[in-house]
């Protein structure tokens, strides 16, 4: 099934020295299946690599994943780097964002303050991320229905 979303490019990667790859592998697959053009940078991606890829592919969204508990440190100054590279994309972050047994609302605030447009916890289904992207990137509802109705 080919959708109009084919033109919508998103950059995806795991930041810092985090090597948890399974989540973005599943996400990549789901996003592609939903019609997005996915540039998967893989694990251990630096802030600069995210910015370069976003510029090179004119990405409309940058999806950052972090599982290993160093997300906060790894994302310090990330939005400044994106700005300097003139990246004007939605930024999402998801995964397991805090060390230890933290309260998620607190975590969400921390990452919103760092500049992320949306913050997802590790219970996030790929469908939720897709739905959010469709809303934020104004993919028309009929398209999104096409995506979720097929089973």
Residues assigned a catalytic role: 18, 20
What does 92 interact with, of another protein, ligand B12, none (CB < 5 to 8 A by kind)?
A: ligand B12
58 versus 122: smaller Cβ distance to ligand B12: 122
23 touches ligand B12 (CB under 6 A): yes
The distance of closest approach from Cβ of residue 16 to another protein in the complex, given in angstroms and rounded to an integer, is 8
Q: How far apart are CA 130 and CA 148, in angstroms?
A: 10
Among 102, 112, 128, 145, binds another protein (CB under 8 A): 102
Give the chain's length: 151
23 close to 95: Cβ distance less than 8 angstroms: yes
Q: How far apart are CA 45 and CA 74, in angstroms?
A: 10
Closest CA to 139 of 1, 7, 32: 7
* Per-residue mark of binding to ligand B12, 24-63 (x: CB under 6 A): --xx-----------------------------------x
Residue whose entry in the numeric block shows the structure tokens 């592998």: 25
């Amino acid at each position: 099934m080919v959708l109009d979303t084919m033109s919508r490019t998103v950059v995806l990667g795991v930041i810092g020295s985090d090597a948890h790859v399974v989540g973005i592998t599943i996400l990549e697959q789901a996003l592609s299946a939903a019609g997005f053009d996915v540039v998967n940078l893989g694990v251990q991606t630096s802030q600069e690599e995210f910015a370069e890829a976003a510029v090179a592919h004119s990405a409309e969204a940058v999806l950052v994943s972090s599982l290993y508990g160093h997300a906060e440190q790894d994302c310090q100054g990330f939005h400044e780097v994106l700005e300097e590279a003139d990246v004007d994309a939605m930024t999402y972050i998801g995964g397991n964002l805090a060390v230890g047994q933290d309260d998620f609302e607190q975590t969400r605030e921390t990452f919103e303050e760092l500049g992320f447009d949306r913050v997802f916890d590790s219970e996030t289904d790929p469908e939720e991320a897709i739905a959010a992207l469709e809303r934020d990137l104004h993919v028309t509802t009929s398209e999104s229905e096409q995506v979720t109705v097929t089973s």
